């Protein structure tokens, strides 16, 4: 395979993936060109994964169902319950599909008097807590959805700026899977305000301390400059884009109690500004300065703090180098809130903690594979999947290259399954499922699973879709404890060979034929073993198990088979 061919395959795939997203974005009234530009831009994301998000769940790719692909906005509590019942009865639950995920359109358009989200009064009249109990009673877990924006994609209430209370609401309801979308998102400004002075007051005891900004410790690009309109004729600038810090160490407070802290700024240019204050190197307080009018030159941000008598430190900076950093940070924050919320609930109710699988869904726009590990359990890598072959292939082409970012507890998410939807043929459905299994992807069904139950109440054992998604050989490849995403070891654009190392030194090998003609495909296990990730022990003979046809055979190393158009062959191989 020539390098140029590989490169053109990659760019063709990106274009195809973009094309799928294009239609979708247009429909959603989002400027498609801007969004695609963002996808292919080289803008650097500076937020690097430092500590992995680990919440003790999703130790293999999560399996379940989501309402979106088939039902979109047409959902209600009966549908969710009927689905959960069908999952139990059809054997899906036993096969591992345990999450019943409600996607967009479950919410009312108003928060309650305490600022909490509430379910749509008309379509979910029993409320989510009750629904969750009922789903739990079936031995399944309930998942929910919101957007890291001011609204969801369908225009319901968003969670941005309500992270703590929404995380707590979900934990209180018993939710165990949370998908966090990206519609109506707002970046945090990378610009910091100019700081005049800071006051710290204990109102009850008439204590007031004034900290002039120019007297603080200035580092990086932070510097004091003259400005005749400020109180002292000076102000501190240079705190934008994570390039400078203003600090006050050893600030002595005379008593324990509640203090009002006010940051006084010199307004300049009509735009939003952002500052983050860290107190005592521990607690972080975000400060949003709204874009303000011209009538006075000074503005302020105020908050109340409980502080102990003694010495304290206050650090001010804008930590965001780019907008993309701020998106990553918003997702990271929500992950922290979810963890805190489930812990708080368990402590308060003296019960076992129910961690929430955290699914990040920003469509790959901000390269979430670079920071997703720190933020959550899984991250969407592409625009939305559609139930047609070109969409499945385009998404595969993009996601398959991200293998090195996937691992135990953290997964590339090429989107929910369309198996059984649209006009996908039997071979296409089998390929779609196989590729997702090989890619260590979450297996979230997107079809109407109630159809697996016949009108007489029996399970439709001849249902092709049911038989595909419950194939235990394939599920074992996906759920392998090593959680290694397959590597594409060979491609000629139309024919790919994928390998996925498994437990006990075994290896899954997959032939994928994207072409229009049935083709003979061939490999030599001893050649595959030369790939660094393959740790199948060398042997004179290998046992191969064809995972769809359930046939076993012994080979000295050569595997050769006829692969149908748009089809796959997948083998589990061990040394004998
Ligand atoms: C976005 C997501 C989809 C789905 C819809 C809901 O498009 O990518 O998976 O959640 O929003 O509106």
User: What are the pLDDT tens digits along the chain (576 aa)?
Assistant: 333 333 333 333 443 444 444 444 445 444 333 343 344 343 445 554 468 899 999 999 999 999 999 999 999 999 999 999 999 999 999 999 999 999 999 999 999 999 999 999 999 999 999 999 999 999 999 999 999 999 999 999 999 989 999 999 999 999 999 999 999 999 999 999 999 999 999 999 999 999 999 999 999 999 999 999 998 899 999 999 999 999 999 999 999 999 999 999 999 877 899 999 999 999 889 899 988 776 888 999 999 999 999 999 999 999 999 888 889 999 999 999 999 999 999 999 999 999 999 999 999 999 999 999 999 999 999 999 999 999 999 999 999 999 999 999 999 999 999 999 999 999 999 999 999 999 999 999 999 999 999 999 999 999 999 999 999 999 999 999 999 999 999 999 999 999 999 999 999 999 999 999 999 999 999 999 999 999 999 999 999 999 999 999 999 999 999 999 999 999 999 999
The C-alpha atoms of residue 58 and residue 398 are separated, in whole angstroms, by 23
461-496 exposure pattern, b = at least 16 Cβ within 10 A, e = fewer: eebebbebbbbebbbbbbbbeebbbbbbbbbeeebb
Task: Kindly write down the DSSP assignment for every residue of 38-81, as one continuous string.
Answer: HHH--PPP-----S----S--SS--EEEESHHHHTT---HHHHH
The pLDDT value recorded for residue 32 is: 38
Point out the ligand 1 atom lying closest to the alpha carbon of residue 154: 12
Point out the ligand 1 atom lying closest to the alpha carbon of residue 363: 8
Point out the ligand 1 atom lying closest to the alpha carbon of residue 147: 11
Q: Which of 72, 104, 147, 421 to mutate to test the pocket of ligand 1 (most atoms within 8 A of CB)?
A: 104
Classify residue 190 by its DSSP letter: S
Q: Is the CB of 39 under 6 A from ligand 1?
A: no
Residue 181 CA to ligand 1 centre (angstroms): 7
Structure tokens at 389: 């072959």
Point out the ligand 1 atom lying closest to the alpha carbon of residue 182: 1
Q: Which of 23, 26, 65, 68 to mutate to test the pocket of ligand 1 (most atoms within 8 A of CB)?
A: 68
Q: Is the CB of 181 under 6 A from ligand 1?
A: yes
153: left (phi over 0), alpha (psi -120 to 50) or beta: alpha
Residue 511 CA to ligand 1 centre (angstroms): 31
The CA-atom distances, in angstroms, between 370 and each of 17, 46, 48, 412 are 20, 9, 6, 11
Q: Determine which residue's CA is closest to atom 7 belonging to ligand 1.
A: 384
**CA 419 from centroid of its chain's CA atoms:** 22
Which residues contact residue 7 at a Cβ distance below 8 angstroms, ignoring those fewer than 6 apart? none
Residue 530 CA to ligand 1 centre (angstroms): 41
Point out the ligand 1 atom lying closest to the alpha carbon of residue 103: 10
Contact at 8 Å (CB) between 305 and 258? Answer: yes
Q: Report the 3 state secondary structure along 350-370.
A: CCCCCCCEEEECCCCCCCHHH
Structure tokens at 438: 């090989």
Contact at 8 Å (CB) between 432 and 480? Answer: no
Q: Is the CB of 35 under 6 A from ligand 1?
A: no
Contacts from 350-354 at CB under 8 Å and sequence distance 24+?
A: 354/171, 354/174, 354/176
Task: Kindly write down the DSSP assignment for every residue of 404-459, as one continuous string.
Answer: GG-BTTBEEE-----TTSTT--HHHHHHHHHHHHHTT--EEE-S-GGGGB-TTS-B
Q: Report the 3 state secondary structure along 295-314.
A: CCCEEEEEEEEEECCEEEEE
Q: Determine which residue's CA is closest to atom 4 belonging to ligand 1.
A: 68
The C-alpha atoms of residue 394 and residue 381 are separated, in whole angstroms, by 12
* Half-sphere exposure of residue 273: CA atoms within 13 angstroms, side-chain side: 25
Structure tokens at 363: 């469509």
Q: Is the CB of 362 under 6 A from ligand 1?
A: no
Q: Determine which residue's CA is closest to atom 9 belonging to ligand 1.
A: 384
Structure tokens at 274: 């952002």
Q: Determine which residue's CA is closest to atom 8 belonging to ligand 1.
A: 384
Q: Determine which residue's CA is closest to atom 12 belonging to ligand 1.
A: 153
The C-alpha atoms of residue 407 and residue 376 are separated, in whole angstroms, by 12
The C-alpha atoms of residue 235 and residue 197 are separated, in whole angstroms, by 8
The pLDDT value recorded for residue 46 is: 53
Q: Is the CB of 153 under 6 A from ligand 1?
A: yes
The C-alpha atoms of residue 347 and residue 555 are separated, in whole angstroms, by 57
The C-alpha atoms of residue 447 and residue 468 are separated, in whole angstroms, by 13
Q: How many residues does the chain have?
A: 576
Contact at 8 Å (CB) between 193 and 214? Answer: no
Q: Which of 107, 180, 181 to mutate to test the pocket of ligand 1 (most atoms within 8 A of CB)?
A: 181
Residue 153 CA to ligand 1 centre (angstroms): 6
Task: Kindly write down the DSSP assignment for every residue of 1-16, as one continuous string.
Answer: --HHHHHHHHHHHHHH
The C-alpha atoms of residue 501 and residue 486 are separated, in whole angstroms, by 8
Place of tokens 């437990």: 503
Q: Is the CB of 384 under 6 A from ligand 1?
A: yes
Point out the ligand 1 atom lying closest to the alpha carbon of residue 153: 12
Point out the ligand 1 atom lying closest to the alpha carbon of residue 384: 8
The C-alpha atoms of residue 96 and residue 82 are separated, in whole angstroms, by 18
Contact at 8 Å (CB) between 90 and 453? Answer: yes
Residue 104 CA to ligand 1 centre (angstroms): 7
Q: Determine which residue's CA is closest to atom 6 belonging to ligand 1.
A: 104
Structure tokens at 148: 């890291």
The pLDDT value recorded for residue 370 is: 95
Which residues contact residue 456 at a Cβ distance below 8 angstroms, ignoring those fewer than 6 apart? none
The C-alpha atoms of residue 192 and residue 194 are separated, in whole angstroms, by 7
The C-alpha atoms of residue 98 and residue 284 are separated, in whole angstroms, by 37
Q: Is the CB of 413 under 6 A from ligand 1?
A: no
Q: Is the CB of 75 under 6 A from ligand 1?
A: no
The C-alpha atoms of residue 413 and residue 425 are separated, in whole angstroms, by 23
Contact at 8 Å (CB) between 460 and 451? Answer: yes
The C-alpha atoms of residue 46 and residue 30 are separated, in whole angstroms, by 26
Residue 384 CA to ligand 1 centre (angstroms): 7
The pLDDT value recorded for residue 4 is: 35
The C-alpha atoms of residue 575 and residue 526 are separated, in whole angstroms, by 11
């Amino acid at each position: 395979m020539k390098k140029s061919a590989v490169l053109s395959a990659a760019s063709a795939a990106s274009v195809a993936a973009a094309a799928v997203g294009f239609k979708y974005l247009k429909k959603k009234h989002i400027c498609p060109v801007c969004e695609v530009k963002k996808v292919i831009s080289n803008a650097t994301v500076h937020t690097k994964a430092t500590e992995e998000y680990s919440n003790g769940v999703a130790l293999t790719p999560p399996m379940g169902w989501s309402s979106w692909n088939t039902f979109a906005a047409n959902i209600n509590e009966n549908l969710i319950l009927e689905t959960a019942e069908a999952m139990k009865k059809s054997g899906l639950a036993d096969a591992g599909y345990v999450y019943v995920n409600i996607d967009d359109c479950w919410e009312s358009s108003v928060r309650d008097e305490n600022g909490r989200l509430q379910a749509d009064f008309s379509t979910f009249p029993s409320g989510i807590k009750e629904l969750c109990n009922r789903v739990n009673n079936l031995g399944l877990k309930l998942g929910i959805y919101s957007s890291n924006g001011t609204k969801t994609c369908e225009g319901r209430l968003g969670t941005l700026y309500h992270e703590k209370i929404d995380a707590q609401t979900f934990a209180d309801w018993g939710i165990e899977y949370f998908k966090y979308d990206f519609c109506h998102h707002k970046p945090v400004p990378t610009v910091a305000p100019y700081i005049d002075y800071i006051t710290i007051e204990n109102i009850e005891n008439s204590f007031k301390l004034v900290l002039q900004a120019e007297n603080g410790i200035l580092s990086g690009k932070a510097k004091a400059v003259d400005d005749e309109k400020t109180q002292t004729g000076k102000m501190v600038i240079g705190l934008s884009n994570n390039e400078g810090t203003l600090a006050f160490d050893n600030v002595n407070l005379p008593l324990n109690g509640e203090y009002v802290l006010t940051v006084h700024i010199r307004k300049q240019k009509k735009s939003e500004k952002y500052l983050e204050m860290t107190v005592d190197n521990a607690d972080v307080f975000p400060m949003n300065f709204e874009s303000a009018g011209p009538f006075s030159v000074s503005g302020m941000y105020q908050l109340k703090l409980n502080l102990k008598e003694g010495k304290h430190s206050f650090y001010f900076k804008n930590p965001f180098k780019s907008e993309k950093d701020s998106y990553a940070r918003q997702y990271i924050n929500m992950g922290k809130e979810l963890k805190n919320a489930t812990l708080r609930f368990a402590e308060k109710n003296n019960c076992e903690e129910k961690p929430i699988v955290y699914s990040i869904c920003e469509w790959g726009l901000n390269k979430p594979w670079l920071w997703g590990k720190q933020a959550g359990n899984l991250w969407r890598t592409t625009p939305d999947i559609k139930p047609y072959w070109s969409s499945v292939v385009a998404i595969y082409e993009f996601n398959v290259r991200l293998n090195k970012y996937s691992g135990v507890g953290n997964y590339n998410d090429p989107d929910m399954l369309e198996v059984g939807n649209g006009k996908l043929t039997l071979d296409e459905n089998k390929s779609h499922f196989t590729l997702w299994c090989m890619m260590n992807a979450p297996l979230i069904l997107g079809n109407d699973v109630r159809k697996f139950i016949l009108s007489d109440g029996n399970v439709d054992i001849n249902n092709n879709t049911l038989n595909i998604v419950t194939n235990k050989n394939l599920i074992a490849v996906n759920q392998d404890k090593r959680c290694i995403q397959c590597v594409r070891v060979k491609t000629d654009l139309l024919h790919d060979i994928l390998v996925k190392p498994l437990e006990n030194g075994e290896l899954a090998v997959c032939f994928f034929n994207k072409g229009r003609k049935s083709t003979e495909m061939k490999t030599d296990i001893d050649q595959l073993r030369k790939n660094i990730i393959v740790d199948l022990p060398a042997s004179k003979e290998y046992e191969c198990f064809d995972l769809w046809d359930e046939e076993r055979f012994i080979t000295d190393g050569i595997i050769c088979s006829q692969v149908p158009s748009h089809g796959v062959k997948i083998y589990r191989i061990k040394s004998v």
